[in-house]
Amino acid sequence: MQTLTVKTERHTQLVDVTAQIQSAVSASRVANGVCYLYVPHTTAAITINECADPYVARDVEGALDRLIPAVGPYQHGEGDSDSHIKAVLVGSSQIVFVEGGKLALGRWQGVFLCEFDGPRERKLHAKVMAD
């Protein structure tokens, strides 16, 4: 298991971590297999979506903020219930295939750590298993 560190800069932010994860895959020396990704936080998540136009990530951030209001009839006393709910909707784990030592992402796909209660320093665990 490798652990990456990701610095986030805004309260809600999708951070493109594709290059860092590719480095972890390269370090594993696995040619063909599965890369497992896991976020050990409860107000952050991981997703795979378009990285070509950064406005897509911004639109996802805005949509999630509109969908889950910051102020609601919440009982948790820390004021970040919306962050937890967004993390549940996006999810804390993903898999990507590895082919020829590279993440087998689609043409427009990148991997994003999703910050929902930043700015913070976050961790992202990655493990690569050979076929």
> Residue 79 interacts with a copy of itself (CB under 8 A)?
no
- Under 8 Å CB-to-CB from 66, ≥6 apart: which residues? none
> Residue 30 interacts with a copy of itself (CB under 8 A)?
no
Show contacts with a copy of itself in window 33-62 (CB under 8 A): 34, 36, 38-42, 47-50, 53, 55-56, 58-60, 62
Structure tokens at 44: 């952050």
Classify residue 29 by its DSSP letter: T
How many Cα atoms are found within 13 Å in the side-chain-facing hemisphere of 111?
Answer: 28
CB 65 within 8 A of CB 90: no
Query: Which residues contact a copy of itself (rule: CB under 8 A)?
Result: 1, 32, 34, 36, 38-42, 47-50, 53, 55-56, 58-60, 62-64, 66-68, 72-78, 81-82, 84-85, 87-97, 99, 104-109, 123, 125, 127, 129, 131
